[in-house]
Amino acid sequence: MTLSGRVRAVGALATLLLSGGCYESRFPIDATPQARIEPALLGVWRCVPHDAKPTEPPATMTVARGRERMYSVSFQEDGKEAARYEAYASAVRGEMLLNVRDLSGGPKPWVFIRYALLRPSVLQLQVLNGDALKEQASPEALRRAVERLQRKSGAFVDMNVCARARVEEGSKSGS
């Protein structure tokens, strides 16, 4: 899967924004989940890239409980096969960042997402900017670099805005 495909699929957890794209890593910020599942993230979302054209159809992101303290995420653009991810939260200076791993593999399968529930049914996703951070040598170095960077302008770039999808009665919503 291409870098662009991974970023869109994470969208939801979206198209690469800005010229630099997202920061990709060989490892997560924390080796294991540090926070509990946030129930408000679970469910089916319809997502559009931050810079979407008016005619661009939304993608469907489904966020469900995975293994302990983990999210299972699928992201499917119309007419394409769903991409699969697992994610978990790390607390970095009081802010929850998602460590998102592309299950299709690759040498740098991790990206880092900052999210905000703007409303109970509106989710904003931002990805750690690859132009703002050079490759780090260890998880500890990555954490320190993200702590220094996270509140600076340009540290994260807008990726997707998602609206909670209305789920038909009798179907699973991922929760």
Give CA–CA dist 32/115, Å, rounded: 19
Assigned domain for 174 exists:
no
Number of domains, the chain: 1
Interval 150-161 mean pLDDT: 93
Domain residues for the domain of 8 are 3-164
- Decide if 36 contacts 123 (C-beta within 8 A): no
Assigned domain for 96 exists:
yes
Q: Which domain CATH number covers 15?
A: 2.40.128
Assigned domain for 170 exists:
no
Model confidence pLDDT, tens digit, residues 51-105: 999 999 999 999 999 999 999 999 999 889 999 999 999 999 999 999 999 999 8
HEC profile of 82-100:
CEEEEEEEEEECCEEEEEE
**What pTM, to 2 d.p., does this model score?**
0.83
Model confidence pLDDT, tens digit, residues 100-138: 999 998 999 999 999 999 999 999 999 999 999 999 999
Assigned domain for 80 exists:
yes
Assigned domain for 171 exists:
no
